[in-house]
Structures are given as C-alpha cells and as structure tokens.
Amino acid sequence: MRRLLLALPFALLPLAAAQAHSDHDHDHDHGTLGAHEHGVARLNVVLDGNTLELELDSPAMNLVGFEHAATSDADKAKVAAARKQLEEPLKLFGLAAAAGCQEENQELESPLFGDQPSAKDDDGDDEHGHDHEHEHGHSEIHAHYQLACATPGKLTQVDLTPLFKAFPQTQKINVQLIGPNGQKGLETTPAKAVVGF
C-alpha cells in the first residue's frame, strides 16, 4: 500500500504547483507539496478499496511549539505529549463510526524523536527524500497511518477538527485526497475542517 502514497505527489503535481507558495525565502526544495511554513501542515488522504491511508507532514513548531532538539525537561515533555497524541490517529481524524475503520500500521518520524529509528541515507534524507532537519534549524514531523475500513462506502468524509484542537498552532492543512470520486486538493482551517471524498 506504500505505493499509493508514493504515487500521490506525482498524480497531484499540477495541484501542488498551483498551490506552491511560501512566506520564507529558501533556496532549497522541501518536497513536492510546498515549503516549510509555520502554522501550515500537509495531509495526503488515499482511500483504495477498504484501505485508508493518511500521511501528515508538519513543521514541528505546529505540534510541539519549537523545532530545536529537546534538551530541557519541559521540551522533552512537550515532544512526548505530541508523540502520544500522534500515536492515536482515530482520535485525531474524525471518521464515520459506521465505516468501521481500525488502525493497521503507523510510522512516526522526526529528528525530535531521538529514539525513533528511521531509514536514512548518508545525506540525512529519509527513504521519502525528505530532509527533516535543515541548515535553517527547521524540523518536520511525519506521521503515516494505514487503516482498514470494514465498510468503506460509509466513509464519506474526514473531519480534521480533532487534529486542529489537539495542535492549536496548526492554522491550515493543505489536503491532497484520492478516493472513489477521484482526486482533489483543498485547504482546510479550524473553521472549515471537513474534507469530503
């Protein structure tokens, strides 16, 4: 199923190019779906048969309030709390109970999760080509979830309200979605947090 999300950036490249803009002047690429921008996260949603995949990429600032290595006890506690929340996707993403979605697999990656093994090559890029800690001190948090839905036809939307409430520094989530009705890209905010398939 990993192939679904790997193909997503290519399938949605025209949408991403139309939305690509940044408040920062960086001379390097941060990936296909836009640059590192505080307050803004990216979410890929793929529903294929009974499999729902969710892939969230966010600046650490949105989720823990900072991007430097956690050295103080207070910072370590913030990282641990955010990680604990991220480990419970069914509490972060509002899915119709009738769809019967259950988590099958998850991956959480960030330089802030010091004990987290991640597949990195010699350049500091992970297997997806993301460079999670840049020379500017930016840290990203990447979460990938795979869920099995017993009745996927009942899954008509994903409500991001719980995610916005859990991480209030996230002001906007750019969503790229592929489902039974095709593909689309849209921008969500705490006031407009429901994404329909």
pLDDT of the residue at 138: 75
Residue 166 — pLDDT band, cuts 50, 70, 90?
very high
For residue 185, the number of C-alpha atoms closer than 13 Å in the C-beta half-sphere is: 16
- The predicted-structure confidence for 27-68, as pLDDT tens digits, reads as follows 333 333 456 789 999 999 999 999 999 999 999 999 999 999
Q: Is residue 27 in some structural domain?
A: no
Q: Is residue 20 in some structural domain?
A: no
Query: Residue 88's domain spans which residues?
Result: 2-7+40-196
pLDDT of the residue at 4: 54
- The predicted-structure confidence for 67-88, as pLDDT tens digits, reads as follows 999 999 999 999 999 999 999 9
pLDDT of the residue at 115: 57
Q: Is residue 148 in some structural domain?
A: yes
pLDDT of the residue at 36: 72
> Which has more confidence, 161 or 2?
161
| Partners of 158 in the β-ladder | 195
- The predicted-structure confidence for 76-131, as pLDDT tens digits, reads as follows 999 999 999 999 999 999 999 999 999 999 999 999 998 544 333 333 444 444 44
C-alpha angle 56-96-173 in degrees, rounded to nearest 5: 25
Q: Is residue 28 in some structural domain?
A: no
pLDDT of the residue at 136: 46
Residues ≥6 apart with Cβ < 8 Å to 155: 47, 52, 95, 96, 99, 101, 149, 197
Q: Is residue 13 in some structural domain?
A: no
Number of domains the chain is built from:
1
Q: Is residue 12 in some structural domain?
A: no
- Pairing verdict, β 40-48 and 172-179: parallel
- C-alpha to C-alpha distance for 173 and 171, rounded to whole angstroms: 7
Q: Is residue 24 in some structural domain?
A: no
Q: Is residue 15 in some structural domain?
A: no
